[in-house]
Amino acid sequence: MSTTAVKNILLTGGAGFIGSHVVRLLVERYPDSAIYTMDRIDYCSSLASLGVLENSPNHHFIKGDITSADFVSYIITQHKIDTIMHFAAQSHVDNSFGDSFEFTRNNVLGTHVLLEAARQNGITRFIHVSTDEVYGEVGRGSPHCTEDTILAPTNPYAATKAAAESLAMAYFKSFKLPVIITRSNNIYGPHQYPEKIIPKFICSILSGRKCYIHGNGSNSRHYLYATDVAEAMLVILERGVVGETYNIGSDVEITNIQLARYLLLLMKAPGVSLLPPGEGNKRHSVDTGDAASILAALGDLTHTGSAIHGEEAHLAFVEDRPFNDKRYAIDSAKLHKLGWKPTVSFEAGIQKTS
């Protein structure tokens, strides 16, 4: 799909974390297209994330709820929308255990409303943004999930995203709606709401509060910087094949406890250092101001590793979720064939974030 074919783009959830990064990139790369950001402005979204676009002539903000069928249909018709990029969703897994109905309303019903409005208005491209959590837990040593792996969500959030995907593909098969689905790893970067683990740990360290670790901290996730994801979304918009799904993944895997230790060292939390010198311990000589050196010193980031000096004053271990997948892992070879690969290292991304 060429840039000239895209005239009027509607991006839902565009005042949220990743949506706002994609909006900014669209405004820059598609100067002759109209970019409409639709967001209801929930607790985790903010117009401040779109502040840099205030004077951009090709960007327009619309406050609205994707579950309102009449409103969504009006917006698509009024602005002659030809492309929809659907980011809007409730996404915090912990919250889905407490109010799963709200997740179903937003993530499933909201998606259905958009799909039906898109069908009625002849949309030429519908990008549905999903998550790697729909695959369920992936054991260590198991193959990474490809786009053809059977979905096995284990928490209410992931189940609603899998359900939304099913609706999207049903509209593709039943009505020939030009749908493409994306599934990404954990994303981090500036402007992320501090309910997510990286900004939450950073805020805790800056304010002198403890970082709370679920269980023993052995759960691991793969991390991808926000601008890399935004670039992936544009590659998929321009080169993706209708009816296909694309994993957007990273090779950077780190356990929660190692992530906390890394941030404590990088941000030079009071009283924290690599363990003092001892027999067989070479970590004391590492420059704790250098992000890459810290990562190397921590050793295997995919396991719990060894404690660092003074960490007990900054970490608190709490009861885990009712069910918490130990690990996700996805294969992005299909997307790589379209020409995308991540370019921001974890060290560089964290320094831009913190």
- Would you please indicate which residues are annotated as catalytic (active-site) residues? 132-133, 157
Helix/strand/coil (H, E, C) string of 4-28?
Answer: HHCCEEEEECCCCHHHHHHHHHHHH
User: Strand 245-248 and strand 179-184: pairing?
Assistant: parallel
* Residue 23 backbone dihedrals phi, psi, to 5 degrees: -60, -45
Q: Per this entry, what is the length of the chain?
A: 354
> b/e string for 138-159 if b means 16 or more Cβ within 10 A?
beeeeebbebebebebebbbbb
Helix/strand/coil (H, E, C) string of 153-202?
Answer: CCCHHHHHHHHHHHHHHHHHHHHCCCEEEEEECEEECCCCCCCCHHHHHH
Contacts 24+ apart (CB under 8 A), 29-32: 29/3, 29/234, 30/3, 30/6, 30/58, 31/58, 32/3, 32/4, 32/58
Is the separation of the CB atoms in 213 and 324 below 8 Å?
no
Residues 6+ away with beta carbon under 8 Å from 218: 255, 256, 257, 303, 304, 326
* Residue 268 backbone dihedrals phi, psi, to 5 degrees: 55, 55
Is the separation of the CB atoms in 254 and 191 below 8 Å?
no
3-state secondary structure of 322: coil
